[in-house]
Structure 1
């Protein structure tokens, strides 16, 4: 391995920093973002909850609406309900994954109820971030109209409120309307090797 001359390296890094500082000086705007986490890879909700905990750490009121996951205990939910209810409203509105419930009418009713709660929380300007966990699954199965969601976010979301929408198969209309979209790519997953979901990793 060739080791670069320290002086040459320092000069390169100084040029890189100057270029970066010039770019950063132009980024002065602030706005509430529409953020989408999608894709087949693991980590969509995990990353979103990371942002929720950042908000809590910065003393910023926030809220979570879970569209699909039922009453199963998860680390994020248990921690928020036991220690941070004053900073984060947490609403588990689903009854489980669609292949478990097998009742489209009931799933649609629950998704619609979750969407009504989500709109209520988003409209409240005190909430700096609202996480709509697994809403993309409800949108994929047309339990909720994606055009209604997009129109609501564009027309009624307070200017400084961040809204995070997670789940596989995000619809193109939502991707187009979002400010930040991350697609989690599946490279390797232990489930395919017969390893079940594990506490501390998946929930």
Structure 2
């Protein structure tokens, strides 16, 4: 069959063989350092529904599973009285090569009248922004077209950087929307950048981001007074 053949003339077996996987059932392989061929986009996940961080973590683990270097920087998740101090995702990250995390958030939640220090929220968010700028600059100094050390510091470069809750920090006025846009503008071409957070649409990102997804709530057990559950929310 030639490249010019109509795909509709293929048998099911031929169609499967023409896919990137060649029709072979997926299996798990050992993780070895590798470099992505098509990274470099900007993704934004926002909305009032559950799943923004979960989606970002799913991509992070998927990328790490291919041997790419991944780092998660969390802006607004310093802890709360509804969750334990140990997070399931942190335990999983520690067990998987090539993915690391850091949490720069202040205890509590900004604007929720939970007794936490609002000035400290501001300071922590601005510190997280400075850290994000540092990590993006470091990625610019690295060769992202080559494999990176799975155990290397994120300052040595990462292929995928997740900035969790950065959009919420901007929505709350802890950092400026312009700061987020400047961060995107400074991103090296091969760095995949994932931004999450905010219940309000980040319209300022519509031209700057390649993918914008709204996670909409239809129903949530929180509305019935169910608190965060171990293994689903943390």
Let me know the Cα RMSD of the aligned residues. 2.7
Larger helix proportion of the pair: 1
1:69-88 matched pairs, under 5 angstroms: 69-71=77-79, 72-80=85-93, 82-84=94-96, 87-88=98-99
8 Å CA contact 1:140–1:170 kept in 2: the answer is: no
Equivalent position of 2:166 in the other structure: 135
Equivalent position of 1:5 in the other structure: none
**1:101 positional shift:** 5.2
The partner residue of 1:157 within 187, 203, 224 is 187
The partner residue of 2:45 within 19, 23, 37 is 37
Calculate the TM-score normalised by the size of structure 1: 0.79
8 Å CA contact 2:39–2:159 kept in 1: the answer is: no
C-alpha separation between the residues in 1 aligned to 2:68 and 2:128? 22
Calculate the TM-score normalised by the size of structure 2: 0.69
Equivalent position of 2:179 in the other structure: 148
Query: CA distance change for structure 1 residues 59 and 174 in 2, over 3 Å: closer, same or farther?
Result: same
The partner residue of 2:135 within 101, 112, 121 is 121
The partner residue of 2:118 within 91, 104, 110 is 104
Structure 2 gap ranges (5+): 1-6, 10-18, 20-36, 80-84, 140-156
**1:170 positional shift:** 4.3
Equivalent position of 1:47 in the other structure: 55
Deviation per CA, 1:102-144, whole angstroms, max 9, x where unpaired?
Answer: 4332111100111111111122233111111111111012111
The partner residue of 1:94 within 79, 94, 105 is 105
Structure 1 gap ranges (5+): 1-12, 16-23
Report runs of 4+ in structure 1 exceeding 3 Å deviation.
none
SS at match of 1:177: coil
C-alpha separation between the residues in 2 aligned to 1:70 and 1:170? 24
- For these two proteins, the number of residue pairs brought into alignment is 181
